[in-house]
Structure 1
Amino acid sequence: MSFVSVIAKENFITVMSDSSAAGSENTPQPEEHVVRVGEQEFVATAGGDREAREVIAKHISGLLEEGTPYDRILVILQMTLSAFSEQGKSVMTAFGGVNRGGEIEVCTYDPNSRAERHLKPRGTEVAYFFLAEGAGKYGNLHELLQGYWKETGTETPSAMIQSQKLLNRYVASKDDTVSSSTVKLVLKK
């Protein structure tokens, strides 16, 4: 299990994942739930199994590198994930960054609920979402994150990272499969 949070504002994106997949005897390399693509884009995955997550991350990374528009990638992702879901490998995925037009853009798709989000925050808007199986079991993470923002603020990437770290610690305290150790990614316009 892993927990990934993505926060986007008009000028930056912060992505944080727990680092629970630290490797084992059979898989000595730690798994990356968040992959940086070039200088300004990312792919994040959670759920399913390791092989499915790696296939999805590689596929979406390739599409991003080719310059495929985000709305098209979202359609391709839905079709690809439907095939994995039929095999019982439900992978939640987020991707985004600074698009070809120079705007912050983020997308996410959860094949379990078939929920998709395609966001381009403007002005003081904050777009955020979580990748976690059964996130509802942790309580209202949206309210909790907004409460942390009262402590940390929301104006800078470091403030957002601080709030995400607090949120990850909370989730780790409720779920022993989520690590309190984290990895972060910051992308700026």
Structure 2
Amino acid sequence: MSFVSVVGMHNFISVVADKRATNSETGEIITENYSKIRVFNDSQFVSCTGKANAAEFVFKQCSDVGYLDLAKAAQELKELIQEAPEYKIDNLLGVIGGKNNKGELAFYTFTNNPDIKVEEYKPNGTNMSFTFLASGKVKENNLDLDFEFKKLYEEMKPRDIEEIINLQKNLNDKVADVDFTVNKTIDYIVLT
């Protein structure tokens, strides 16, 4: 399924994702080096977990586009993935973010689950925003990602972007320990 973590402060957004792709039917590892984060127009990104073909469909929607209204794009991506018959049964979780139409940093989560609405995250001042995209295996193994993130934050006391990325890497490793579909090789981007 994969794991993606997004952390935002008023001056940056950091996105970290594992790089394993597995066959959801057989559990076979397809590759250990699949990038689940795409940057477009130098100031916005999209990232997904779930089946690679559904993620590629989302990535394609964001390629060769100009500057996007992120809130609108998140809703449109949600609707597109819900309406595409080949992806209705897939469990897709996505996040799109970067600079919004007001020049502020923001990110939005979306899914093909019709019961879950698009959620907005706007870090400001000293308030940090964060979210995680993960499979049900995390809950099955009683790994509370919010708790683990806050615990790591208190232990590590990150002071800069590199230390935030390291914290996200440590959280990714905890998820990889309980979810076979996640590896400890990461990909990351930082937008300012």
TM category, shorter: 0.7 to 0.9
- What's the TM-score once normalised by structure 1's chain length? 0.86
Deviation track 1:89-132 (CA, whole Å, cap 9, x = no partner) reads 23211011123432111111123351421121111111111111
Matched with 2:49 is 46
CA distance in 1, matches of 2:31, 2:165: 28
In structure 1, the residue corresponding to 2:108 is in which secondary structure? strand
CA distance in 2, matches of 1:69, 1:102: 11
CA distance in 2, matches of 1:89, 1:37: 25
> Given that residues 18 and 181 in structure 1 are in contact (C-alpha distance below 8 angstroms), is that contact kept between their aligned partners in structure 2?
yes
CA distance in 2, matches of 1:60, 1:54: 10
1:153 pairs, out of 154, 157, 180, with: 157
Matched with 1:111 is 112
> Given that residues 78 and 109 in structure 1 are in contact (C-alpha distance below 8 angstroms), is that contact kept between their aligned partners in structure 2?
yes
Matched with 1:36 is 39
Deviation track 1:6-32 (CA, whole Å, cap 9, x = no partner) reads 11111001101111139xxxx779432
Matched with 2:26 is none
Q: 1:84 to 1:156 in 2, by over 3 A?
A: farther
Q: Percent identity?
A: 27
CA distance in 1, matches of 2:47, 2:95: 5
Q: 1:50 to 1:41 in 2, by over 3 A?
A: same
The letter for the 2-side match of 1:73 is A
Structure 2: segments with no counterpart, 5+ residues? 23-29
> Given that residues 84 and 90 in structure 1 are in contact (C-alpha distance below 8 angstroms), is that contact kept between their aligned partners in structure 2?
no
- What's the TM-score once normalised by structure 2's chain length? 0.85
Matched with 1:181 is 185
Q: 1:77 to 1:88 in 2, by over 3 A?
A: same
> Given that residues 43 and 61 in structure 1 are in contact (C-alpha distance below 8 angstroms), is that contact kept between their aligned partners in structure 2?
no
CA distance in 2, matches of 1:127, 1:28: 31
Matched with 2:25 is none
How many residues in Structure 1 have an aligned counterpart in Structure 2?
183
The letter for the 1-side match of 2:129 is A
